[in-house]
């Protein structure tokens, strides 16, 4: 990371440390809106990271944004930061106008809405934060192919729902909602957006993995049993070693994935990262809870704010099932039985 | 948390990879060697090592004045990956290249460097590593082999065990007690280079469970070692030895020992058009990718002289488990008849992988020792 990038990450981390604690996340889970967290990010222009300066943004890159998403996981930040910033990535990358409003998105293989005469209709489930935000960016079936469209959620019927972490995941029903703006996109663009979205979730999950690991290390130092801190027990040490391994592999996977995205030479990095992180999430959540024992499964303890996010986020966007299918298709095309050549191939695949 | 750098290979490095690959493919086709799983430990072939030496591919990173190429650690990483991916028999020169050279570069005398390094580089001089003893496996520092000071050198008595390829090696860097056991068992240990053909050295094979001969017990009965064969500082052997371990634990050989089997598995699934099987196998690639990033990151930090003992231990403990998982995954996806002498490659690789797998998580520090090390490290951070 460049110094500039490091600075952005440090500033935002400090904001989250100050503003987002266990109680704040609890309150949001009960259905409140964390205006102070939103406001401070807006004041610091962090909502416009990765939007170019000519479009009124702060002029960062996608890699800055992905590094910030790690912090969303690490602090269980209860606002639609990923959603608003990613919606603007979609808008800007397709040449549409970015929005200054709070926004969310729905980017999936399966198309749930269609365009008819300048209006959008259909029902989309699991839309993050819909009830709290103003705009929705969604991929719709047009009369001649795919369209990326923006609609106002004032024109939608929203039925509140939530994921395992009590984050808003609403059902949005559109009946002839007027299109704010729209543009044609190709199948390849949709695939790329699905990959980026999956990368965003992986980044957020890696932050939650880091935090669950950190909490566990800290707990083994504080908690005493049989007259000594529990990190002195070899079976607990094995948990710590496994957790450290998953945390370090996850973090290095994200670094490498972000580097590939930044250099615009993505091959299978998003797929490998997401599959590996889902595996890490399973191992880390189980092991962190086992080490924390009973206290870790109480609502009072903060561990569940991270493990419930891991269990929720792994089900969202393109996950292991999607990526193993993609990889299997690609591996079927590997020439001359040379897996090693494939894994180390040198030609760069540029994406958009 | 440990932050490791990401590494993007340069065009020259990609080119080097292809050059090495083409050379190995040519010799594979000629029958110079046969692909084997776990070839870095069980594929000892002095003729092949000499061939590799002629290419300038031993001691790749060492100074030119000792016959090296002064290439980067990442170049060496690429070279090693290519050897392992094709299962080439690199065991004979392996320890000299991986450990002894770097050790002498760091702690050796000029005389030692000038004497040993050019021979190692040619693929003509092999080293064993004398650490474990019959009653000290994981408790490495409980060394009993002792050296008694005499005029001009030392007289060694004792024995070392599990010494890989000692029967092909010319010398062994051996951890020896040069001072009587004091309060701390880590003190008073020194590294001495012992000529394995010297009078009083007896090498007895310990057959592996397959009957193959890889490791040995090495006995020292009043063996004379001259003063100029002491490496580094007397009494500093433990610390010097520890410095080697990060190199020993973090390389691609902790990930790729069973790669030839994985290659056959993917090829088999492709031939059968088995999409469901391929989906399963693709998860393995994501694990491989994760480990490879970590291992390359550690290599980069090592090159810059950074501290990576814990990530290196993690590469070994997780990487060797990964290597062990390949035969277990393979057997669920394709039918195999594992035989060490099989004609069909997948059957032979399956046999080699299955039978060698138990050793992966033992050699070079058992997983249990590594877990303890990692846990103590992260608690202390």
pLDDT tens for residues B189-229?
Answer: 999 999 999 999 999 999 999 999 999 999 999 999 999 99
- A74 shares its domain with A176: yes
A151 and chain B in contact, CB less than 8 A: no
The pLDDT tens digits for B100-144 are 999 999 999 999 999 999 999 999 999 999 999 998 878 888 899
Residue B49: pLDDT over 80: yes
**Mean pLDDT across A327-346:** 86
Work out the minimum CA distance from A333 to partner chain B, whole angstroms: 8
Task: Identify the domain boundary among A157, A185, A213.
Answer: A185
pLDDT in tens, A275-293: 999 999 999 999 999 999 9
CB A245 within 8 A of CB B318: yes
Last residue of a domain, one of A151, A185, A219: A185
Q: Does domain B129-235 have CATH number 2.40.110.10?
A: yes
Has residue A350 got a pLDDT over 80?
Answer: no
- Chain B residue numbers touching A210 (CB-CB < 8 A): 1
Confidence of residue A1 (pLDDT cuts 50, 70, 90): low
At residue B276, the pLDDT reads: 97
Pick from B127, B118, B143: which is nearest to B196 by CA?
B127
Cα-based torsion angle of the residue sequence A208, A211, A216, A221 in order, rounded to the nearest 10 degrees: 180
Other beta carbons within 10 angstroms of residue A278's beta carbon come to 22
pLDDT at A347 (0 to 100)? 59
Query: Residue A39 in contact with residue A98, Cβ under 8 Å?
Result: no
- What's the CATH number of domain B251-380, 3.40.50.150, 1.10.150.300, 1.20.140.10, 1.10.240.10? 1.20.140.10
Active site residue B248: yes
* Exposed/middle/buried for residue B22 (C-beta within 10 Å: 0-12, 13-18, 19+): exposed
Average pLDDT over residues A106-133: 96
Q: Does residue A171 belong to any structural domain of this protein?
A: yes
**How far does B367 lie from chain A, in Å, by closest CA?**
9
Percentage of residues of chain B with pLDDT beyond 70: 100
Task: Indicate if A175 and A208 belong to the same structural domain.
Answer: no
Interface check A279 vs B, CB under 8 A? yes
Q: Does B284 touch chain A if contact means CB atoms closer than 8 Å?
A: no
User: Is A80:A128 a contact under the CB 8 Å cutoff?
Assistant: yes
Asked whether residue A319 is domain-assigned, the answer is yes
- Give the Cα separation of B171 and B192 in Å (integer): 10
Give yes or no for residue A135 having a pLDDT over 60.
Answer: yes
Nearest Cα neighbor of B289 from A193, A340, A210, A201 is A340
Per-residue confidence band for B246, with pLDDT thresholds at 50, 70 and 90: confident
Q: Which residues, numbered 193 to 232 in chain A, qualify as contacts with chain B under a Cβ-Cβ cut-off of 8 Å? A: 210, 217, 220-221, 231
Number of domains composing chain A = 2
Instruction: Measure the CA–CA gap between A308 and A326, rounded to whole angstroms.
Output: 27
Q: Are residues A90 and A212 in the same domain?
A: no
Distance between CA B296 and CA B7 in Å, rounded?
Answer: 7
For tokens 């590469």, what's the residue?
A: B315
pLDDT for position B135: 84
Residues whose CB is less than 8 angstroms from the CB of residue B355 and which lie 6 or more positions away in sequence, other chains included: B209, B210, B340
Cβ of B290 within 8 Å of Cβ of A253? The answer is yes
Residue B23: C-alpha distances to residues B13, B38, B46, B51 (Å): 15, 20, 18, 11
B273-323: pLDDT as tens digits: 999 999 999 999 999 999 999 999 999 998 888 888 999 999 999 999 999
Greatest CA separation for chain B: 72
Looking at the complex, report in whole angstroms how far the Cα of residue B269 sits from the nearest Cα belonging to chain A: 8
Q: Do A272 and B273 touch (CB under 8 A)?
A: no
Question: Which candidate from A220, A252, A334 shows the least CB-CB separation from B266?
Answer: A334
Domain boundary among A140, A166, A185: A185
Residue A134 shares a structural domain with residue A241: no
| pLDDT computed for residue A48 by the predictor | 84
Among residues A227, A238, A209, the alpha carbon closest in space to that of A303 is found at A209
Average pLDDT of chain A to the nearest whole number: 94
* Residue among B125, B131, B146 at smallest CA distance from B188: B146
Rg (CA), chain B: 21
Q: What is the pLDDT of residues A20-68, one digit of tens each?
A: 999 999 999 999 999 999 999 999 888 888 788 888 777 778 899 999 9
Does A8 share its domain with A71? Answer: yes
Element (H, E) at B312: helix B309-333
pLDDT in tens, A296-326: 999 999 999 999 999 999 999 999 999 999 9
Do A169 and A312 fall into the same domain?
Answer: no
> Domain of A69: which CATH number?
2.40.110.10
**Rounded mean pLDDT of B34-61?**
96
Percent of chain A residues topping a pLDDT of 90: 86
Residue B191 backbone dihedrals phi, psi, to 5 degrees? -100, 120
The answer to whether residue A60 is domain-embedded is yes
Strand partners, B189: B177, B236
Residue A48 to residue A59: CA distance in whole angstroms: 8
Cβ(A72)–Cβ(A183) under 8 Å? no
Residues A176, A200 within the same domain: no
Matching residue, tokens 């020292």: B220
Provide the pairing of β-strand B171-177 with B127-130.
parallel
Q: Do A252 and B294 touch (CB under 8 A)?
A: yes
The 10 Å Cβ neighbour count of residue B158 is 20
Q: Report yes or no: B98 and B251 within 8 Å, Cβ to Cβ.
A: yes
Which pair of structure tokens corresponds to residue A268? 């299978």
Residues of B in contact with A259 (CB under 8 A): 6, 8
Point out which residues pair with A113 in neighbouring strands: A122
Closest CA to A103 of A67, A69, A127, A75: A127
Residue A330 tokens, joined? 């690609």
Residue A275: inside a domain: yes
What average pLDDT is seen over chain B? 95
The answer, yes or no, to whether residue A352 has pLDDT greater than 70, is no
SS3 A172: strand
The single residue of B82, B248, B323, B352 carrying the catalytic annotation is: B248
Q: Which residues contact A179 (CB under 8 A, 6 or more apart)?
A: A115, A118, A119, A120, A149, A150, A151
Question: What is the rounded CA–CA span in Å between residue A28 and residue A42?
Answer: 19
pLDDT at position B141: 87
Whether A348 is covered by a domain: the verdict is no
CB B140 within 8 A of CB B97: no
A350 within a domain of the structure (yes/no): no
Q: What is the pLDDT of residues B138-163, one digit of tens each?
A: 888 889 999 999 999 999 999 999 99
| Calpha distance B75→B16 (Å, rounded) | 8
CATH architecture of B11-122: Orthogonal Bundle (1.10)
One domain, residues A101 and A26: yes
The verdict on a CB contact (< 8 Å) between B370 and A244 is: no
Q: Between β-strands A103-106 and A135-142, what pairing exists: parallel, antiparallel or unpaired?
A: parallel
A28 alpha carbon, distance to own chain's centre: 18
* Residue A316 and residue A215 in one domain: yes
Say if A86 falls within a structural domain: yes
Same domain as A280, residue A296: yes
Domain that holds residue A310: 189-343
Q: Is residue A349 part of a domain?
A: no
Structure confidence by residue, pLDDT tens digits, B252-279: 999 999 999 999 999 999 999 999 999 9
Pair A172, A129 in one domain: yes
State the average pLDDT over residues B325-340. 97
Q: What is the pLDDT of residue A107?
A: 96
CATH assignment at residue A278: 1.20.140.10
What interhelical angle do B237-250 and B309-333 show, nearest 10?
40
- Non-local (6+) Cβ contacts of A181 within 8 A are A91, A96, A97, A149, A150
Assess whether pLDDT exceeds 70 at residue B379.
Answer: yes
Q: Where in chain B is the domain with CATH 2.40.110.10?
A: 129-235
Is the CB of residue A20 less than 8 Å from the CB of residue A78? yes
Q: Given CB atoms, is B311 within the 8 Å cutoff of chain A?
A: yes
A10 touches chain B (CB under 8 A): no
Are A196 and A307 found together in one domain?
yes
According to the model, what pLDDT value does residue A334 have? 79
């Amino acid at each position: 990371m460049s110094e500039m990038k490091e600075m952005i990450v440090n500033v935002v981390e400090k904001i989250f440390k100050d503003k987002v604690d266990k109680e704040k996340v609890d309150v949001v889970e009960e259905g409140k809106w964390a205006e102070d967290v939103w406001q401070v990010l807006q004041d610091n222009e962090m909502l416009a990271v990765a939007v170019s300066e000519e479009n009124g943004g702060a002029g960062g890159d996608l890699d800055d944004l992905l590094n910030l998403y790690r912090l969303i996981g690490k602090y269980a930040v209860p606002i639609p930061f990923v959603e608003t910033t990613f919606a603007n990535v979609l808008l800007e990358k397709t040449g549409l106008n970015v929005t200054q409003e709070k926004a969310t998105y729905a980017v999936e293989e399966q198309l749930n809405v269609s365009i008819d005469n300048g209006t959008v209709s259909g029902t989309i489930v699991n839309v993050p934060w819909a009830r709290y935000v103003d705009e929705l960016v969604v991929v719709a079936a047009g009369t001649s192919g795919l369209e990326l469209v923006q609609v106002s959620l004032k024109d939608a019927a929203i039925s509140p729902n939530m994921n395992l972490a009590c984050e808003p995941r609403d059902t949005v029903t559109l009946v002839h909602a007027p299109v704010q703006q729209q543009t044609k996109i190709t199948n390849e663009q949709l695939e790329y957006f699905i990959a980026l979205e999956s990368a965003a979730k992986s980044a957020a999950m890696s932050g939650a993995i880091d935090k669950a690991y950190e909490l566990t290390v800290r707990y083994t130092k504080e908690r005493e049993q049989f007259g000594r801190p529990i990190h002195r027990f070899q079976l607990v040490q094995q948990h710590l070693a496994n957790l450290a391994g998953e945390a370090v592999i996850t973090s290095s996977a994200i670094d490498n994935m972000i580097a590939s995205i930044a250099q615009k030479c993505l091959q299978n990095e998003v797929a490998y990262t997401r599959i590996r992180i889902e595996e890490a999430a399973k191992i880390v959540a189980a092991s962190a809870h086992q080490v924390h024992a009973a206290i870790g499964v109480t609502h009072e303890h903060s561990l569940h704010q991270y493990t419930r996010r891991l269990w929720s986020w792994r089900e969202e966007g393109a996950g292991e099932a999607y990526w193993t299918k993609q990889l299997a298709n690609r591996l079927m095309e590997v020439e001359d039985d040379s897996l090693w050549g494939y894994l180390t191939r040198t030609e760069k695949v540029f994406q958009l | 948390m440990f932050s490791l750098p990401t590494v993007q290979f340069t065009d020259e490095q990609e080119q080097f990879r292809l050059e090495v690959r083409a050379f190995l493919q040519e010799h594979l086709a000629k029958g110079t060697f046969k692909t084997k799983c776990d070839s870095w430990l069980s594929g000892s072939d002095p003729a092949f090592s000499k061939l590799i030496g002629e290419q300038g591919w031993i001691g790749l990173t060492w100074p030119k004045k000792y016959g090296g190429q002064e290439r980067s650690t990442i170049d060496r990483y690429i070279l090693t990956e290519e050897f392992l991916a094709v299962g080439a028999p690199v065991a004979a020169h392996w320890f000299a290249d991986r450990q002894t050279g770097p050790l002498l570069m760091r702690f050796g005398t000029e005389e030692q460097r000038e004497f040993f390094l050019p021979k190692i580089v040619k693929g003509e001089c092999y080293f064993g590593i004398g650490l474990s003893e019959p009653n000290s496996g994981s408790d490495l520092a409980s060394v009993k082999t002792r050296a008694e000071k005499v005029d001009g050198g030392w007289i060694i008595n004792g024995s070392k065990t599990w010494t890989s390829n000692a029967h092909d090696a010319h010398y062994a860097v051996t951890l020896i007690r040069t001072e009587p056991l004091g309060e701390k068992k880590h003190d008073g240990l020194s590294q001495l280079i012992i000529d394995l053909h010297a009078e009083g050295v007896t090498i007895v094979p310990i057959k592996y469970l397959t009957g193959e001969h890889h490791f040995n017990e090495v006995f020292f009965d009043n063996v004379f070692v001259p003063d100029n064969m002491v490496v580094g500082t007397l009494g500093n052997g433990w610390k010097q030895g520890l410095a080697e371990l990060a190199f020993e634990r973090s390389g691609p050989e902790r990930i790729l020992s069973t790669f030839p089997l994985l290659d056959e598995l993917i090829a088999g699934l492709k031939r059968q058009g088995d999409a469901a099987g391929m989906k399963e196998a693709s998860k393995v690639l994501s694990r491989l990718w994760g480990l490879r990033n970590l291992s390359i990151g550690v290599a980069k930090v090592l090159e810059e002289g950074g501290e990576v003992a814990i990530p290196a231990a993690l590469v070994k403990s997780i990487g060797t488990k990964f290597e062990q998982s390949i035969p277990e995954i393979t057997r669920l996806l394709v039918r195999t008849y594992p035989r060490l002498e099989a004609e069909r490659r997948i059957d032979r690789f399956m046999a080699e992988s299955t039978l060698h797998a138990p050793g992966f998580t033992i050699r070079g520090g058992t997983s249990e020792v590594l877990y303890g090390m990692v846990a103590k490290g992260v608690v202390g951070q």
